[in-house]
Amino acid sequence: MSLYIRMVAIFFTVLLIISLSPCLLYSDVIKGTSPADKTPTWYAMDWVLNSKYSPIFEVLDTESALGRYAPMTKTITLKDLIKFHGHPCDGLIQAACALKMAFDKLFPNGVIDRTDIRVLSSNSPCYVDAASYLTGARINFGTLEIDNSLGTSWIVQVISTGKTVKVTRRSGVFPKGLEALEKKIKSGRGTPEEITRCRDMEWKFAKRLLSRPLESSFKVQELKGFHWPGSKYKKVGKRGDIRFKNAPYCNK
């Protein structure tokens, strides 16, 4: 089926859904309408995008600043995430893989509702960027909080239900030699050759993560009765772009 015919079919399907129900529900959303960008580039190599376990995310947002739920999802790949973060590092890939496991637990239908989610992460640029981009969480709205005691763990919660999971990197997964080299470079004592070697080791580690089931590198557990911490940011606001996400298309 050509792309044009497929898009026409999707358009009329959306119109049919809206005509049958004045309110577009989360369960009505159509998945897979946004092509996944898996074309390799210099900054997003083939092994990053097309390894057996390279994660892909279907996300749901609203359709406008004061709008309803969008009728279709958007597809996010590691390439999109790298554009936001700046480079394909092992930290970004670890975070993406870990969060994929959290999302699978919280959103079993495969659609990540970015209007209804919040996340706790340690203060790593890689970890926070992945968490913010994939969930839509923001410090200024009290949906992204920093907790350095988490280390390589993330806590993700569906706001409307309170269902919460924690995903953690398994012990022994991170290479000890890489850990020592990173520590040396961060101290300012690394040579140019060691900086290059560190990059190569990080990519080798990330490639290994994507070559095997994510469960072998991370574990996820549900946190029943988890109390979300209050925001430390003094100017928390409310998102205006999700207020009317369940508004009907017409009065009936």
The pLDDT tens digits for 113-169 are 999 999 999 999 999 999 999 999 999 999 999 999 999 999 999 999 999 999 999
- Global pTM? 0.88
| Total number of domains in the chain | 1
**Is 161 inside any structural domain?**
yes
pLDDT tens digits for 214-251?
A: 999 999 999 999 999 988 888 899 999 999 999 987 76
**Is 14 inside any structural domain?**
no
CATH of the domain at 129: 3.30.1330.130
Domain that holds residue 111: 28-242
**Is 43 inside any structural domain?**
yes
* 44 contacts: CB under 8 Å, gap ≥ 6: 78, 79, 82, 88
**Is 165 inside any structural domain?**
yes
pLDDT tens digits for 56-83?
A: 999 999 999 999 999 999 999 999 999 9
Q: What is the mean pLDDT of residues 94-102?
A: 98
**Is 209 inside any structural domain?**
yes
**Is 11 inside any structural domain?**
no
Q: What is the pLDDT of residue 20?
A: 44
**Is 247 inside any structural domain?**
no
CA distance 166 to 33: 30
**Is 6 inside any structural domain?**
no
pLDDT band at 33 (very low <50, low <70, confident <90, very high): confident
